[in-house]
Structure 1
Amino acid sequence: MAGTKLIGIDVGTTAVKAAVFGPDGTVLDRLHQPHDTQRPESACVEQDARDWTRAIDAALARFTPLMPGVGGIGLTSQVNTHVFVDAEGTPLAPAIVWQDGRAAAEAAELDAQISEAQRLEWWGAPMPIDASHALARMLWMQRHHPEIWDKTRYVLLPKDLCLWHMTGAVVSDPLSNIGLVDLAHRHIPEVLGLVAGAADRMAPLKPLSALAGRVRQGPAQDIPVANGTMDGWVGLLGCGGHREGAASYLSGTSEILGITSEAVHPTPGVIVFAESDGLRMHAGPTQAGGAAQMWWADLNGISPEQMSQRAAASPPDKPAPLFLPHLQGERAPLWNANARGAFLGIDQTSDAADLARSVYEGVAFSVRLLLNALERSAQVQSTELICGGGGFRSDVWNQIRANVLGRTLHRLAVTDPGLLGAAAIARAATGQAPDLASALDELMHIDKTYRPDPALAPLYDAQFAIFEDLTTRLAPVNDRLTALPRPRL
C-alpha cells in the first residue's frame, strides 16, 4: 500500500475540516464546513452532533473522484466535548462543548475526593477534575436531567460518534479519555466509581493507531479507518511532536502546546499523556487563542485580517494595556473556570491599534505561562517551536508570539496540522509506514520562520512578570464576580 493517498478528517470546535493528501503530503483537495455553536446560558456551550456527521458525509462525497487509490482515513476531533447517545447512537441532547462550564460545582465536588498521591499514580501529574471533565458532565446530567441519563448508553467524544457513524464500530482511544484512563491505557475503576453508572457508559478502548473498522457505505466504502485520537495530540504530532525533545505549538480556537519527553517532573496544570506509539507528550490547552481574536474583531465589527493590520500600526515600544485573555475561564496551566479577562493600564493615549496589539500579546503571555510549566514538567528547555493551525495566518501576530516567547517559531506549510497528523496515523495504521515518526517525516514541510527581536526581551520579560502575578492576584476577585447573584428581570 506504499505510495497511496490518504484522507485526514478533523472535527474541530468551529468546523469540520477534511483533506485528501498525496503520497508526498501534497493536499489534493479539501473541505472546510463550519458548524454553529449555541450558548443558551452564560456557562453553557453546545453543538448539534449531527452537524459533524453531515459534514463528514459531504466531504467524502466531494472527494469521490479522488477515491481510487485512497489507502486509509484518519480521524481526530475536539476533546472534552461529550455527547450522550442511546443504544442506536442517536444523540439525546446537544453535545456539551469543552468550553462549557456548567459542571463546575460537580467538578469541584469530585476533585476533592481524589488525593495528590492518586493523581500521580494514575496520571503521572497532579491533574485536576475541572468542568470539562467527562465525569463532571456525567454527574451534572445525572442530577439535572435524569431522564436523559437513564436513556444514555454511551458518553462519547465527537471522534467516537463519527467513527460509529462511518464504520458501525463503538470504540474510543486512551489518550482522548483524559482523566478516565491511567498510564497503562486502562479505565480507572476508582475514578469511574465516583459517579454511579459511569463505567457502564464507557466505549471500549483501542490504541490510536489501530484500525477502528472500514467505511460501511458511500463513496469511501470499505476504506480502512484508523481509530485516531484527540485533536490536541494529533495536531501537536502534526506540528513536529514526533521526536524526543521537540516542542510544538498548535493555534486555533485555543492555543495548545506540547513537548515530547520521556522525563516526567510532576508539575501542576500540565497534562502528561501515557506513552503511546513510543511518544510521551507533555501538553496543555489554553482556553482562548483564536477565540480572543474573534471576540475582539467581532466586537469592533472588523475581520481578523483588519485586526492584524491595526495591531501592526501600534509600535511595540509604545505603552499598551496588558490583556488577560480569560474570556471564558482558563484551562492549562491554571484550570480555573472562574478566571476572567481584563485590560489593565488603559489611559487616554490608548487607541484601537494598541488594544488590538494587547489582545495578541495577552494570548502570547498565556502561552508563555503554559510553556514554562511544560518545560518544568518535561525537563526540556525549548529554543524553537514548530507551529501550525489557523491561528498562525497572521505574520504580525506570529512575530508578536516569537517576541513574547523569546523563541524561534517555524510555521508548517500545511495550514491544518490536525489533518496532517490524522493522515499520518492512517498511514501507520494501514502499514504504509513503520511508525508515526516515519509517517510524519514523509509528510511535513516548513513554510516560514519567525525569530524573536532581542531588543524587546527586557520589555516582554517585565510585562510577563506582571501578567503572571495578576493571574494569582485576580483569582479571588473573579471568584467574587462570578458568584454575584443574577436577578431574572
Structure 2
Amino acid sequence: MSNLRLIGIDIGTTSVKAVMIDLSGQRIAEFSARYPTQRPAAGQVEQDPEDWLRLVRAALEQFADHGSAAALCLTSQVNTHVFTDAALNVLQPAIVWQDGRAAQAGAALDRSVSAEDKIAWLGAPIPIDASHALARMAWMQAARPEIWDRTAHVLLPRDWILARLTGVLLTDPISAVGLVTPAFTYADDLIAGLNGAARRLAPLADPFTVVGQVSASWPFAGTPVVLGVMDAWASLFGLGVAQEGEAFYLSGTSEVLGIISGDLFPQPGIITFPEWRGLRLHAAPTQSGGASLDWAARLLGRSTQDLATMAMSVTDDAPLFLPHLQGERAPLWDAASRGGFAGLTASHGPVEMAAAILEGVAFSARLAFEALERSAGAQPAMLRAGGGGFASDTWAQLRADVLGRPIQRVEGSDPGAIGAAVMAGVGTGSLTDLVSASRALVQVDRIFTPRPSESTRADTRYALWRDLYGALRPTNHALSALG
C-alpha cells in the first residue's frame, strides 16, 4: 500500500496545478503552468479550453516518469462554461466566471424567481448572476443563436476535460452551483424557465463515483478516474478542513471563504450547498483577490511579490481601496460595481497604494465572512488558509489582523490539487475516509495571530470601508450603464 500513488489535477483560473502523492502525503511530483486569458471587450473574460487540455496532458506526461498511479481525480474553476457540440468540439472560447456579459440576462432571470422559490428549490436564496449557468445560456441564446443552436453540452472545465480523458460525460451536483435541489437532483422548476437548458446539462453523479479509466491515448491509460468536485470543495480537503464548525480561507485570483455547519440560516449573497457526506458548506466567493494585486502590479510596473513585500503596514490615514475591479460577488453580487481609492493625497505613492490594496481585499473577505457566520450560525475561532495569495507573510498577517482571529496557513500553494488527490484515494478505497485522509495528508506551515493594535486600527478603518461601497454605488452604476 505504501507504494500507491494518487494524482490530483486542478484546472484553475490562471493555471493548471497537479500533484502526485503517496498515501503518507509525500509529494512524488508536482506541476504548475499558466495559460493565457483573453479580454476581447469590456467585461468579457475568455479562455481556450485546448490550453487546459494541453497542460493536463503535459502534467501527466511529466508524472509518467515517476511510475504508475492507483487513481486520478480532477477539480476546476466553476461558473466557467464551455459550449460544445455533440462530439465535444468547442464552439467558442470558454466564458470564465469573471465574465460579466450575461449580467442583464441573469438579472432578468433572477427577477422572475422569488426568494421563497429559491429556498424551496435550491435550499438557499442563491443569486442568478452573470456567472450562473442559466444566465450564460440565456445570453448565448439571445446574442449568438447560431452557436446556441449547435450547442449540445454546456460544461464546466473539469467536465470537458473528464470527457476528453475518459469518454464519459458527467458532472457532480455540488459543482452545478445554483442548479440542484437539496436532494442533489436538478432543480427542474428553475431550469424549465429557460427553454432548451435542461437537455444541455451533463448527467449528475456522486463526487466519489469512479467514472471510468484514462483512455488509451493518454499517459496513465487504464488508471481509475474519480469524478471529484469543484475547486472550493476540493480545497477544503486540501486544507485539512472536513469537520463541523471548521472554516477556511482560500486565496487565488479571487478570495473564497467557507464554514462547515449543519445549521442553516439563509442569507442573501451566501451560497449554501446541500449536505454531502455529513458536510454542509456555506461559501462566499469574492471577485478580485489576487486579481487586484495583479492589476496593481501591471499598473505600477512591479511584480506582485514586490508589491506584497513593500506593503509592510497600514497607517491610520492610508487610502482605502474598494477591490471591485470586475464587479463583486459575495455577499453583494453587484456586477455593476467598480473599484476605487478613497482618501488619496499627493503624499501617497506605490507603497501606500499597495498596502491599501492588500487591506481592501482583506476587508472584502471580512464582509463575506460576517455574512457566512450569520448563514452558518457559527463563529469559528480559527481559519485554515492556503492558495497563492497566502504566499506573502505580510498579507497573511494583515488578514489575521482584519478578521480578528488566527489563520493557519497550510504547506504548499495547491490545495485544490491536493484535495483532488485525497478524493482520488477515498473514491477508490485507497484511503479510508475524508476526515482522516485530509488530516493526515495536510500539514500546517505557520499560524498568524492577530496583533491587538493592528486589529483595533483595522476595525476603525473597516467601518469606513463598509460605507465606501454605498457611497460609490450610484456613480459606479451610472458609469456601468454608459458602457
TM-score bracket relative to the smaller structure: over 0.9
Q: Aligned partners of 2:423 and 2:41: how far apart in 1? A: 38
- Name the counterpart of 1:449: 447
- Name the counterpart of 1:65: 65
SS at match of 1:425: helix
CA displacement 1:289-329 (0-9 Å, x = unmatched): 110011001111111111122212xx433521000000000
SS at match of 2:33: strand
SS at match of 1:442: helix
CA displacement 1:143-196 (0-9 Å, x = unmatched): 111111111111000000010011000000001111111111111111111111
Say whether 1:327 aligns with 2:325.
yes
- Name the counterpart of 1:243: 243
Poorly superposed stretches of 4+, deviation over 4 Å: none
8 Å Cα contact 2:331-2:367 kept in structure 1: yes
SS at match of 1:140: helix
Q: Aligned partners of 2:90 and 2:369: how far apart in 1? A: 37
- Name the counterpart of 2:257: 257
- Name the counterpart of 1:7: 7
- Name the counterpart of 1:399: 397
**1:428 is matched with which residue: 420, 426, 429?**
426
Farther-moved stretch of structure 1 (348-357 vs 38-47):
348-357
Amino acid at match of 2:461: Q
**Deviation of the 1:211 alpha carbon:** 1.2
Q: Aligned partners of 2:187 and 2:395: how far apart in 1? A: 41
- Name the counterpart of 1:102: 101
- Name the counterpart of 2:180: 181
Q: Aligned partners of 1:124 and 1:171: how far apart in 2? A: 23
Q: Aligned partners of 1:121 and 1:438: how far apart in 2? A: 34
- Name the counterpart of 1:171: 170
Q: Aligned partners of 1:57 and 1:102: how far apart in 2? A: 31
**Deviation of the 1:237 alpha carbon:** 2.9
**Deviation of the 1:2 alpha carbon:** 6.7
- TM-score, scaled to structure 2: 0.98
- Name the counterpart of 2:293: 293
Q: Aligned partners of 2:55 and 2:477: how far apart in 1? A: 39
Sequence identity, in percent? Answer: 48
Matches for 1:48-447 after TM superposition, within 5 Å? 48-68=48-68, 70-217=69-216, 218-312=218-312, 315-447=313-445
Farther-moved stretch of structure 1 (152-161 vs 376-385):
376-385
8 Å Cα contact 2:314-2:356 kept in structure 1: no
8 Å Cα contact 2:316-2:457 kept in structure 1: no
Amino acid at match of 1:283: A
SS at match of 2:456: helix
Q: Aligned partners of 1:447 and 1:206: how far apart in 2? A: 35
8 Å Cα contact 1:127-1:271 kept in structure 2: yes
CA displacement 1:339-372 (0-9 Å, x = unmatched): 1101001112222211110000000000000000
- Name the counterpart of 1:460: 458
CA displacement 1:442-466 (0-9 Å, x = unmatched): 2110001111101122221111112
SS at match of 2:441: coil
**Deviation of the 1:43 alpha carbon:** 1.3
CA displacement 1:243-272 (0-9 Å, x = unmatched): 110010101000000100000011111101
SS at match of 2:479: helix
8 Å Cα contact 2:169-2:202 kept in structure 1: yes
SS at match of 1:245: coil
**Deviation of the 1:467 alpha carbon:** 1.5
Unaligned runs of 5+ in 1: none
- TM-score, scaled to structure 1: 0.97
Q: Aligned partners of 1:2 and 1:123: how far apart in 2? A: 42
**Deviation of the 1:22 alpha carbon:** 1.8
How many residues are treated as equivalent by the alignment?
482
Q: Aligned partners of 2:135 and 2:423: how far apart in 1? A: 30
Q: Aligned partners of 2:110 and 2:314: how far apart in 1? A: 42
Q: Aligned partners of 1:55 and 1:317: how far apart in 2? A: 43
RMSD: 1.2
Amino acid at match of 2:251: S
SS at match of 1:129: coil
Farther-moved stretch of structure 1 (342-351 vs 290-299):
342-351
SS at match of 1:256: strand
8 Å Cα contact 1:261-1:378 kept in structure 2: yes
Amino acid at match of 1:298: R
**Deviation of the 1:470 alpha carbon:** 2.0
Say whether 1:481 aligns with 2:466.
no
Q: Aligned partners of 2:136 and 2:305: how far apart in 1? A: 37
Amino acid at match of 1:11: I
Unaligned runs of 5+ in 2: none
**Deviation of the 1:234 alpha carbon:** 1.2
SS at match of 1:60: helix
Q: Aligned partners of 2:162 and 2:472: how far apart in 1? A: 42
Q: Aligned partners of 1:324 and 1:14: how far apart in 2? A: 23
Farther-moved stretch of structure 1 (320-329 vs 462-471):
462-471
Q: Aligned partners of 2:308 and 2:159: how far apart in 1? A: 37
Amino acid at match of 1:181: V
**Deviation of the 1:3 alpha carbon:** 5.7
Q: Aligned partners of 1:237 and 1:344: how far apart in 2? A: 38
Amino acid at match of 2:121: W
Query: CA separation of 1:366/1:193 partners in 2, compared to 1, >3 Å: closer, same or farther?
Result: same
8 Å Cα contact 1:239-1:249 kept in structure 2: no
**Deviation of the 1:472 alpha carbon:** 2.6
Q: Aligned partners of 2:22 and 2:432: how far apart in 1? A: 18
Amino acid at match of 1:139: A
